[in-house]
Amino acid sequence: MIDHVSIAVSDLQSSAAYYRSILEPLGLKQLVERDRTVGFGKTYPELWLNARPGMPPAPADTGNHICLRAPSREAVRRFYEAALAHGGTGDGAPGDREATLGTYFGAFIRDLDDNKIEVATFLRPDPA
């Protein structure tokens, strides 16, 4: 249903380097680089960073966030660790979470501009 998502960043080069590091555990890589935008994905750009120089940090209480799929619990952990190691902040450490349709394993971070990003892997039920 959703083809791609774009987020605003105040420093495109710093944010592109940050996202290159944190998206690697999810199997996403930088595919496009233009003067004011950078696109990440597996085979086509699904996540775009758009330059907005001078933009203030995102407010903490908007209720908005982007959730990216992770292939495993380990990928969630690696994403979270990379985000913190490269200047982001934690907003929910990796762990099991309850959702409408069951339990998933996820984590939340704030990027260099305080955009809230979640990663999640959906657990399969134990075989009967």
Evaluate if residue 30 carries a pLDDT over 90. yes
Predicted pLDDT at 48: 98
The string over 56-66, giving b where at least 16 C-beta atoms fall within 10 Å of a residue's C-beta and e elsewhere, is eebeeeeeeee
% of the chain surpassing 90 pLDDT: 80
Measured distance CA(113)–CA(57) in Å, rounded = 5
Name the pTM for this structure: 0.91
Evaluate if residue 10 carries a pLDDT over 80. yes
Q: In CATH terms, is domain 5-53+65-122 a member of 3.40.50.2000?
A: no
pLDDT grade for 125, boundaries at 50, 70 and 90: low
pLDDT digit string, tens, across residues 33-91 = 999 999 999 999 999 999 999 888 888 788 889 999 999 999 999 999 999 999 999 99
Predicted pLDDT at 126: 52
